[in-house]
Structure 1
Amino acid sequence: MKKYEGSCRLSQQQLIDEYFMDVRAKLLDVAAFLDRIDRSVECNAEEDFRMMAMREGLQALCTRAPYRVRTIQMIFSDPTREPLSELDRKSAFGAYDYHRDKEGLR
């Protein structure tokens, strides 16, 4: 028996009936975003850390592994434990730039 089996009180059919249209809309939003990226006038973001995280998250989404939400959340999360001495920007990026640490910018 799977570790997470039976942890939701709704049946699979009930979940589909309740949430399918919302999830469908979100997938269409993702597809539209990716289409706009592909059609942009300049292809200059292949190595952007946010797009790299997006591709990794989409790959994780397509697996049947348990706890996909945790896996995907961790892909986008900052793994560091030490607080910054000062803010380095005014807003969040939505993903963690792993290459930044390697370049000694953190």
Structure 2
Amino acid sequence: MPTKKDILDLHFMDARYKLLDIAAFLDRIERHQGETDFRFDGLKKALPILLSDQPGRAKAVLEALSDHSTEPAEKATFQGAFGAPQSLQS
């Protein structure tokens, strides 16, 4: 069974890169004109989950960024997904 140090040794640089990438993305959003939308709100809602000590953070982040609606959309306007629930839209 690996220790916490073993896991840090193996995965720290990858996690560091991902956090820097998110920070750069947030900086880019802030530098530009216009309004954000529900996707940005979804990311901001998920960020405090990362800082919590609760077990299951990956699942909690996925749930925060998932659409939990049960009713089908009346009409699909495109093929794909938004990656965040539109219900967060203000």
Normalised by the size of structure 1, how large is the TM-score? 0.75
Secondary structure (helix, strand or coil) at the match of 2:28 reads: helix
1:21 corresponds, among 13, 19, 22, to 13
Partner residue, 1:59:
48
Q: 1:52 to 1:99 in 2, by over 3 A?
A: closer
CA distance in 2, matches of 1:31, 1:99: 22
Greater RCO (Cα-Cα under 8 Å, separation 6 or more): 2
- Could you tell me which runs of 5 or more consecutive residues in structure 1 were left unpaired when the two chains were aligned: 1-8, 101-106
Per-residue CA deviations over 1:16-64 (Å, capped at 9, x if unaligned) read 0000000000001001001111111x1411xx11011100110111111
Q: Deviation at 1:75? A: 0.6
Query: In 2 relative to 1, CA 81–98 (structure 1 residues): closer, same or farther, beyond 3 Å?
Result: same
What displacement does 1:90 show?
2.2
Query: How many pairs align?
Result: 90
Structure having the larger proportion of residues in helix? 2
* Larger-Rg structure: 1
Q: Given that residues 66 and 84 in structure 2 are in contact (C-alpha distance below 8 angstroms), is that contact kept between their aligned partners in structure 1?
A: yes
- Equivalent residues of 2:42, 2:88 under 8 A apart: no
Percent of matched pairs sharing the same residue: 36
Q: What is the alpha-carbon root mean square deviation over aligned residues?
A: 1.9
SS in 1 for 2:68: coil
